[in-house]
Chain A
């Protein structure tokens, strides 16, 4: 045999897992929420989602091609995911130019300025969202009521359940409405059942583990009780479901072992309810996640996974 053999170190086989596969897996998990957002907010939702996804992919392409002069990685699905998650965190009547600014901040500052996928400290979609919330507080907090299929900028708006609760009023929606998503709020956050379907899919496909979302749910519910709030309303309103299942579990900005994930999730849950109860904003999920993103390196440094032989069962 004349041909040279390949020599490399073991292992000689690979699982076939890919970054792309993980990203598209999350995108598939987001499909139920995508459909419900289109169902409740119609044209507005469509325009916001398409604008955010296209501009995120375009900005990533432009930055990689002309600024960083590196191989473009827009096909790995991460920019699409950032765009979709950003759109899910926006009201359906947001003007296109504001969405484009949000996408630029999310991709440019949130992701590429740190070195691209894998190197960012904060969840890029949330960076974009919080930037818009602080810059355009009125536009970002006027939420169209559900069921206005053909309206975009002209949609009738109303206060969200959380805003009403913060103002000391009744939430105004039945728990069933909140569960299925027939309420006003950001595009993707309204339907708890669609988000939970996505959660189940990601658990079955082993894309994420249960630790972060469950820690958030449990601690947020406990914290609501302590603060005298209705835990069911708190869990099913605002961005808690979307944040716990899809934003806090972002691979890059969350801790890397199960113990760390539980600590991280517990703090997000507690901070969210504290901000909702005592903060100036009615919703605290994005702030809580961004704050804990900043603590992730610290958690990774001090919280180590369970070691083999740690629990000595000898004798």
Chain B
């Protein structure tokens, strides 16, 4: 029996159109726009100004505050401006705009393709290196990686779990990365293990990627402490809590940190970025991005520099099809719909999905028939229909006692609802409101 998580889950059509497509290196754009808030937490502070010359890998913004990450230039050229620019949600956010001139990298970066296996740095130096290179979680959440590698006191890391599940339909960037960079990923996993002093790692891969499972299992024979764990195909297995449950049968209690189970979860792309940072001294400024969609002429996986406009990637994949209705950054279950094609690739962007017009429209919502499909698919054991009702009625106390904050926003409820109810929209609203109420309560008890 293949392992999986035990509660809820759905199985959307996989549509992995760009599977087995080799990663192509994208030509450099004329200009890049590098947002300074590409991670969860405070935006970085710019350390360059207009007219400065930068190379690929030059630090252009310094982390500010505990939860934050450094940002590096992804190209060589001249800083055109440091300004506020509309981000993917349409909000004005600080960004650095660089005009591209040539492709010169910082001298310290090792650009050779040689595999460097030997890990010379010690645990603390690894964490510092990861922090310096601005590594964040590449699965989409973009949580700064160095913080995850410093477990809080009274917790102890026991195992590294590598998220190579890629449970979102359409996306293939992690899959292709594994096929092409298996050795580097395994060294990256070893580095992660050393950084938190554990001697066990599990790489969870869903069973719809048999070639990746075979290759990684083959390569991992040199690393007896790394296990490749095939998993049953089920969404949202790539959720941190679901993956821990699937791999080591431990459940993160409500409100607790995942580290309370002894597991440190990192995305497979992050493991590769950590390898490049620690062994090759290369900051995170490029990543694999899937460009896909049913009407896309040439679904592809590209290696793109951070700050490249999405329009450049879409052009390389054959241009925008005539009847495109929606452009999504990320996968179809949790990705964000983009207001324009001028938004740029950021560290957390795993894919660009173009949906046809008729696929993009929601169907008319009707009354709840209490069929309990949403309850059965919820991986957190919530009652989405009830939560939507109380959030509609602004009954925040009820939303809190019915555990609205446990929701991981996977969207399984809205996906499955036969009445097309906008369950997750209202639950998100409730999470925002209840989160505010909880913070206000904590603040008022603190001042008393």
Contact = CB atoms under 8 A, between A and B. Distances in A.
A314 B370 CA distance: 34
A173 B361 CA distance: 57
Nearest to B336: A10
Interface in A1-16: 1, 3, 5-15
Contacts, number: 165
Given A5-B337, A11-B332, A308-B379, A22 B254 contact: no
A16 to B, nearest CB: 9
A117 B339 contact: no
Give the interface SS of chain A, mostly helix, strand, loop or mixed.
loop
Contacts of B245: 308
Contacts of B417: 17
Contacts of B375: 256-257, 305
Nearest to A1: B320
A18 interface: yes
B418 A19 contact: yes
B146 interface: no
Contacts of B68: none
Contacts of A6: 325-326, 337, 357, 360-361
A12 B369 contact: no
B169 A13 contact: yes
Contact of A7 (B10, B339, B369, B414): B339
16 contacts: A5-B324, A7-B338, A7-B339, A9-B337, A10-B332, A10-B335, A12-B332, A12-B337, A14-B414, A19-B419, A22-B418, A118-B368, A118-B370, A308-B254, A308-B380, A309-B252
Interface residues of B, number: 75
B229 to A, nearest CB: 17
Contacts of B12: 13, 15
Interface in B343-380: 353, 355, 357, 359-363, 366-373, 375-376, 378-380
B425 A9 contact: yes
B415 A5 contact: no
A134 interface: no
Nearest to A255: B372
Interface string B34-58: 0000000000000000000000000
B235 to A, nearest CB: 10
Given A11-B415, A313-B251, A314-B261, A307 B381 contact: yes
A21 B366 CA distance: 14
Contacts of A166: none
Interface residues of A, number: 44
A12 B424 contact: no
B383 interface: yes
A313 B402 CA distance: 22
Contacts of B418: 17-19, 21-22
A300 interface: yes
Nearest to B360: A6
Interface string A284-315: 00000000000000001000111111111110
Contact of A12 (B249, B360, B372, B409): B360
List 10 A-B pairs, minimum CB-CB distance, nearest first.
A11-B411, A118-B367, A307-B381, A17-B418, A256-B372, A251-B371, A309-B251, A13-B332, A7-B337, A12-B332
